């Protein structure tokens, strides 16, 4: 379903900026599947009941959600996330008798998640279709290593004119500076561009801050409507209908 708020009149769209996670790839779903696989491993390894394993996994999810990573601190994101598992296990059942278990949990969760982070055939076809008419740029927030791994696993490079990992720069979405970098790379102006993403706080607000022609919010969860985006769709596959209205 497509919902329309309002948009500015202007020239034809020349470029589309896409978010990655939960816009082009189903990161949340992949994370849940990976967590379930890791929980089964924990049950088998430690002989724990479902409730206890669920508590460990919930703690890991919370640590992941509130994660703060500083690459200058001398640790990798892999170190930090393995430590999330170590703390989650320790806080739930006490010290682990198998020192390597947290790293095993992290590696299983990470590899299982990455396996599922693929562009669907429908999304690939959409991007090929759009690239014949528009310049395409992938703009994703997050830790540089993690996002680069997702981009490589999903095979995104062939579908975009440029890829910007905001974690490699001073400011990420929704700051205008990262959008200005994107406009410069594509040799376009803000009003030439459409921003597409699932986050109202980073993708949509960022597009508004940068002054793009239109913002398109992917409300895949089917939650409440918002007046912030110019357009609301439930899947990126509905994007061509929006673009047809902007010509």
Q: What is the pLDDT along the chain (247 residues), one digit of tens a residue?
A: 555 554 455 578 999 999 999 999 999 999 999 999 999 999 999 899 999 999 999 999 999 999 988 877 889 999 999 999 999 999 999 987 788 999 999 999 999 999 999 999 999 999 999 999 999 999 999 999 999 999 999 999 999 999 999 999 999 999 999 999 999 999 999 999 999 999 999 999 999 999 999 999 999 877 777 889 999 999 999 999 999 999 7
CB atoms within 10 A of CB 81: 24
On whether both 135 and 21 belong to a single domain, the answer is yes
Place of tokens 């022609």: 213
Which stretches within the chain are classed as H helix?
27-46, 50-65, 77-93, 101-116, 121-131, 144-154, 176-186, 205-210, 239-246
Q: Is residue 2 part of a domain?
A: no
Report the C-alpha gap between 9 and 12 in whole angstroms.
9
On whether both 95 and 144 belong to a single domain, the answer is no
- At 4 the pLDDT is 57
Which residues sit opposite 197 in a β-bridge? 217
On whether both 35 and 129 belong to a single domain, the answer is no
On whether both 162 and 98 belong to a single domain, the answer is no
- At 7 the pLDDT is 47
Which of 86, 115, 144 finishes a domain? 115
On whether both 134 and 106 belong to a single domain, the answer is no
On whether both 91 and 122 belong to a single domain, the answer is no
Cis before 174? omega within 30: yes
Domain at 213, CATH number: 3.40.50.1000
- At 155 the pLDDT is 97
- At 207 the pLDDT is 98
Query: How many folded domains does the chain comprise?
Result: 2
Residue ranges making up the domain that contains 153? 15-25+118-245
- At 110 the pLDDT is 98
Helix (H, G, I), strand (E, B), or coil: what is residue 220?
A: coil
On whether both 72 and 127 belong to a single domain, the answer is no
Domain at 64, CATH number: 1.20.120.710
Tokens of 82: 């393995």
Angle, helices 121-131 vs 239-246, to 10°: value is 20
CB 197 within 8 A of CB 219: no
Q: Is residue 3 part of a domain?
A: no
CB atoms within 10 A of CB 27: 18
On whether both 168 and 240 belong to a single domain, the answer is yes
On whether both 126 and 232 belong to a single domain, the answer is yes
On whether both 141 and 91 belong to a single domain, the answer is no
CB 159 within 8 A of CB 124: yes
- At 10 the pLDDT is 54
On whether both 111 and 124 belong to a single domain, the answer is no
Helix (H, G, I), strand (E, B), or coil: what is residue 28?
A: helix
């Amino acid at each position: 379903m497509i919902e329309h708020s309002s948009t500015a009149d202007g020239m034809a769209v020349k470029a589309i900026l896409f978010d990655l996670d939960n816009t082009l790839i189903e990161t949340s779903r992949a994370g849940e599947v990976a967590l379930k696989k890791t929980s089964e491993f924990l049950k088998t390894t430690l002989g724990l009941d479902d409730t206890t394993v669920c508590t460990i996994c919930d703690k890991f999810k919370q640590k992941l959600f509130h994660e703060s990573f500083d690459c200058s601190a001398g640790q990798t994101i892999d170190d930090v996330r393995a430590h999330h598992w170590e703390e989650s296990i320790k806080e739930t059942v006490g010290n682990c008798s198998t020192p390597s278990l947290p790293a095993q949990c992290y590696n299983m969760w990470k590899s299982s998640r990455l396996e599922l982070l693929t562009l669907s055939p429908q999304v690939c076809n959409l991007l090929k279709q759009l690239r014949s008419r528009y310049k395409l740029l992938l703009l994703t927030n997050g830790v540089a290593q993690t996002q680069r791994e997702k981009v490589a696993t999903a095979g995104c490079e062939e579908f975009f004119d440029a890829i910007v990992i905001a974690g490699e720069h001073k400011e990420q979405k929704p700051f205008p500076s990262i959008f200005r970098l994107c406009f410069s790379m594509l040799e376009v102006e803000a009003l030439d561009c459409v921003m597409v993403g699932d986050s109202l706080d980073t993708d949509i607000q960022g597009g508004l801050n940068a002054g793009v022609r239109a913002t398109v919010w992917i409300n895949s969860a089917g939650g409440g409507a918002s007046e912030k985006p110019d357009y609301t769709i439930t899947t990126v596959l509905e994007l061509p209908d929006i673009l047809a209205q902007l010509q």
